[in-house]
Amino acid sequence: MKCVMKTAAGAGNLQFVQREIPEYGEDDVLIKVLATAVCGTDVHIQGWNDWAQRYVTPPIVIGHEFSGEVVKVGAKVKGVKVGDVVSAETHIPCNSCEICRIGERHVCPHSGLIGVNRDGCFAEYISLPYQNVVVCDPSVKPEYLCLMEPLGAAVHGVMQYPVSGRKVVVNGCGPIGAMAVAVAKLCGAARVIAVEPNSTRAELAKNMGADVVINPAKENAEQVIKSIATYGADVVLEYSGNAKGIESVFRFVRPEGKIVFVGLPSERPNVNFSEFIYRGITLKGIAGRRIFNTWEDMNGMFAAGLDLEPIVTHTLPLEDYEKGLDMMLKGECVKTILKP
């Protein structure tokens, strides 16, 4: 099969190679990849940043966001059959530690990660434990199903607290924040206020259904938010991962409101703890997707009409992966789909 491999540690070292189709054990399914998406993580693996140096174990096939069709199933596989259209949870929990046993598998400290420390999906085929696979509605385009992994970070964040009838701020509208805008609208938020400095991304937020889009570089975001919600928003969802953006959300939320953090800062934000203690604010961090509650929520949202069309800006053959990574690095795309 054709695949993209990180052949060795260090910057670059990606190669488009031919390899044997992966083996599959009695608990595994073999999946033919229909569509796979480029993520910022893949760019970090290419550039070999600090995070990649710690976690990535070459040689491996990279890529972790995909949809596919099951072509083989191992003898002990249950609930998944040949021909099923699937996506998959990319964290492979150990399923046996105390954290897994109490139902918190999404934060299993022993988790493996496809495309990071085991073979990923920038390939024609991938083999995975059946417990990680999610059967999807085959009438949803594979290009959208392959976005379920990042969509899950949006859905997990939005579903954390009730948003129905509430005033909601989405801070940062890259692909994940923009999807969160659409999810919050679908969940019945009274007002979705997007905050995004980049004009192309602001347009994206509008297309995903934001009622108001604020440019925090040009406007006083706090004032605009408080002209819509006098004391601040009920729920503020942080998807920028920008230290200044993280500092700003404390001013956007009302007393006793909720702040949900999904964006991962590379610099340390300067936060005054008394700002949230004496105003009774709840802070919640989001890690990946709940296994499998978030996935069932996503299947339900596709059924309810969630439209990811504005998110998919480019589609390329897998062999053009370098172009896809380059566009991601330069911010010239929202999501690029690669087709093996």
Contact residues: Zn ion, CB under 5 A? 39, 41, 93-94, 97, 100, 108, 110
Q: Residue 94: which of ligand NAD, Zn ion, none does it interact with, CB under 5 to 8 A by kind?
A: Zn ion
Closest CA to 124 of 336, 339, 323: 339
Q: Residue 101: which of Zn ion, ligand NAD, none does it interact with, CB under 5 to 8 A by kind?
A: none
Residue (125 or 239) nearer to ligand NAD, CB: 239
Q: Which two tokens stand for residue 63?
A: 């890529």
By CB under 6 A, residue 308 contacts ligand NAD: no
Query: Would you say 305 and 144 are in contact if contact means Cβ atoms under 8 Å apart?
Result: no
Q: Which residue is nearest to Zn ion (CB)?
A: 39
Strands 233-238 and 167-171: parallel
By CB under 6 A, residue 295 contacts ligand NAD: no
Q: Which residue is nearest to ligand NAD (CB)?
A: 174
41 is an active site residue? yes
Q: State which of positions 152-211 bind ligand NAD (CB under 6 A).
A: 153, 171-177, 195-198, 201
Q: How far apart are the C-alpha atoms of 239 and 242, rounded to whole Å? A: 8
By CB under 6 A, residue 50 contacts ligand NAD: no
Q: How far apart are the C-alpha atoms of 135 and 255, rounded to whole Å? A: 41
By CB under 6 A, residue 235 contacts ligand NAD: no
Q: What ranges in the chain are assigned the alpha helix state H?
A: 40-47, 50-55, 98-101, 142-145, 148-158, 175-186, 199-207, 221-228, 243-252, 274-277, 293-303, 321-330
| 3-class state of residue 181 by DSSP | helix
Query: Would you say 274 and 169 are in contact if contact means Cβ atoms under 8 Å apart?
Result: no
Q: Residue 108: which of ligand NAD, Zn ion, none does it interact with, CB under 5 to 8 A by kind?
A: Zn ion
Using CB under 6 A as the binding criterion, the count of chain residues that bind ligand NAD stands at 27
Binding residues (CB under 6 A) for ligand NAD: these are: 40, 153, 171-177, 195-198, 201, 216, 239-242, 244-245, 262-264, 286-288
Active-site residue list: 41, 44
